[in-house]
Amino acid sequence: MTGQSDTERRETVVIGGGQAGLAVGYYLKQAGRSFVILEAGARIGDAWRSRWDGLRLFTPARYDGLPGMAFPASPHSFPTKDQVADYLETYAAEMRLPVRTGIRVSGLWPSEPGDGFVIAAGRRHFRAAQVVVTTGAYRRPRVPDFATELDPEITQLHSSEYRNPSQLRDGAVLVVGASNSGAEVAMTTVPGHRTVLAGPDKGKMPLRPESRLARWFDIGFWFFVNRVATLDTPIGRKAMPFVRDHGGPLERIWPADLAAAGVERTIARAVAARNGLPVLDDGRVLDVANVVWCTGFRPDFGWIHGLDAIAEDGWPRQVRGVVPGVPGLYFVGMPFLHSGGSALLGGVGRDARHVVESMAHLPRPMTTVIASETATAR
Ligand code: FAD
């Protein structure tokens, strides 16, 4: 790996400077710990900036604040993705969090016994007694294998690549996956393209997020997702695989909206390719010019080596973010890390605090800290 001379030592390294990493940073700072947050993006908030045009939160601003700083918008408004990105950037600056942008961690290994971890980011190396992984769950697009058998003339985009209809060819669009991403993407493509939205029905929330009644409903909803639907309760354990792996009920775009806009909705799944065209499990072959895969993501922790931290299903072995078999290693920010709110702006703070409190018994900051402090408090 590397010699000591070009290795920086920290008590704690947080990998990922999205909302989860910043929330962890907030509590580390409160606890007076020595730490740095390494963020791959050029700017804090880029994970949000790179999502499709027109994306707005389905959670109102009053529930979108990270610990210590309310979201700066009318409490009942629904921030845009760019407002969220700017909020995260401002949060890091206001809280004076040591975030280093443009540093993508490429590997994490155990160090010598009793000496924590080695973290590689290109030619840079760090050593830390504790590592918190907050790289997000939405990293590796999940696309079915038969996608490679579709005609190369068909434009294929995963929802993480889709921005707006200017990326599409003339002709029909098949949107695969009918949870919130699929429904929202279909609404953007249907004005100029025949649009088929395929995938099992996910149901819908009982109220429109913008409705006045939803303001009351939200109080119960947040109590439920943060306090009741946790991995400590039967209902939480039952909900976890659905929330984590399948996408939830429709929030803002409801079936009636899709129908009114002219989206052709089918509960059939796209299951195969025939003569280069997608085939649904009801036997239909769709002659489309574009496919947008709103089929979710897989966890991506392949850069973690030599640590008994990742289960066979690709998700971390953790209890409320603490990895039982690897002292000093933590995860924060994934759907249902502990509760239904774990991956939401308004829920991640609880998990972050629990993880930092779990570290409290560890010794005070390590003695060796790099001489030239280049961390930026943006
Ligand atoms: P991310 O935001 O993905 O941040 C992870 C960070 O880690 C990124 O900045 C990334 O650049 C960095 N990173 C990744 N790998 C590395 C590496 N190897 N080295 C260094 N840095 C790395 N939540 C709500 O509360 N309300 C909503 O309305 C809402 N709507 C959503 C709509 C969509 C379409 C999606 C996808 C999510 C939505 N969410 C919403 C869920 C949630 O808020 C986001 O998924 C959130 O971005 C998760 O935060 P995170 O910090 O865990 O991960």
**Which two three-digit tokens encode residue 354?**
């629990």
What mean pLDDT do residues 8-13 have? 95
CA 238 to chain centre: 21
Three-state DSSP class for residue 195: strand
In this model, does residue 182 exceed pLDDT 60? yes
What mean pLDDT do residues 171-194 have? 97
**Which two three-digit tokens encode residue 215?**
């303001």
Which of ligand 1's atoms lies nearest the C-alpha of 121?
A: 19
Ligand 1, CB cutoff 6 Å, lining residues: 15-21, 38-41, 47, 51, 55, 57-59, 64, 104-105, 134-136, 138, 181, 333, 343-346
Most informative mutation of 13, 19, 244 for ligand 1 (most atoms within 8 A of CB)? 19
How does DSSP assign 333-354, residue by residue? -STTSSBTTTTSTTTHHHHHHH
pLDDT digits (tens, 9 = 90+) for 117-146: 999 998 899 999 999 999 998 889 999 999
What mean pLDDT do residues 349-357 have? 97
Which of ligand 1's atoms lies nearest the C-alpha of 138?
A: 3
pLDDT of amino acid 248: 82
pLDDT of amino acid 365: 46
Report d(CA 239, CA 329) in Å as an integer. Answer: 26
pLDDT of amino acid 362: 57
Which of ligand 1's atoms lies nearest the C-alpha of 57?
A: 28
**Which two three-digit tokens encode residue 323?**
């990895």
Cα of 226 from ligand 1 centre, angstroms:
18
360 — pLDDT class (breaks 50, 70, 90): low
CA torsion sign for 170, 265, 148, 299 is positive
| pTM attached to this predicted model | 0.92
**Phi, psi (deg, nearest 5) at residue 243:** -65, -45
Q: Residue 292 contacts by C-beta under 8 Å, 6 or more apart in sequence? A: 156, 157, 158, 159, 162, 173, 174, 175, 176, 182, 185, 189
- CB-CB contact of 50 with 161 (8 Å): no
What mean pLDDT do residues 364-371 have? 39
How does DSSP assign 98-159, residue by residue? EEETT----EEEE-STTS-EEEEETTEEEEEEEEEE---S--EE---GGGGGS-TTSEEEET
Cα of 65 from ligand 1 centre, angstroms:
14
In this model, does residue 374 exceed pLDDT 80? no
- CB-CB contact of 51 with 113 (8 Å): no
95, 83, 99, 78: which is closest to 18 by C-alpha?
99
Distances (CA, A) of 17 to 41, 85, 347: 8, 11, 16
18, 12, 20: which is closest to 36 by C-alpha?
12
What mean pLDDT do residues 204-229 have? 91
**Which two three-digit tokens encode residue 167?**
């990326």
The protein residue whose alpha carbon is closest to atom 18 in ligand 1 is 105
CA 237 to chain centre: 20
Bridge partners (DSSP) listed for residue 288: none
Q: Give the helix/strand (H/E) hosting 239.
A: helix 234-245
Which of ligand 1's atoms lies nearest the C-alpha of 346?
A: 25
- Find the length of the chain: 378
Q: What's the one-letter identity of residue 201?
A: D
What mean pLDDT do residues 313-317 have? 94
> What does pLDDT average to over the chain?
92
pLDDT of amino acid 372: 32
139, 109, 134, 136: which is closest to 121 by C-alpha?
109
Distances (CA, A) of 188 to 67, 183, 196, 250, 342: 34, 9, 12, 16, 29
**Which two three-digit tokens encode residue 261?**
């806009």
Most informative mutation of 345, 351, 355 for ligand 1 (most atoms within 8 A of CB)? 345
Bridge partners (DSSP) listed for residue 80: 56
pLDDT of amino acid 367: 37
pLDDT digits (tens, 9 = 90+) for 19-60: 999 999 999 999 999 999 999 999 999 999 999 999 999 999
More confident residue, 114 or 324: 324
Which of ligand 1's atoms lies nearest the C-alpha of 181?
A: 34
Cα of 166 from ligand 1 centre, angstroms:
25
Which of ligand 1's atoms lies nearest the C-alpha of 103?
A: 20
The protein residue whose alpha carbon is closest to atom 3 in ligand 1 is 136
pLDDT digits (tens, 9 = 90+) for 89-122: 999 999 999 999 999 999 999 998 888 999 999 8
Most informative mutation of 15, 62, 138, 159 for ligand 1 (most atoms within 8 A of CB)? 138
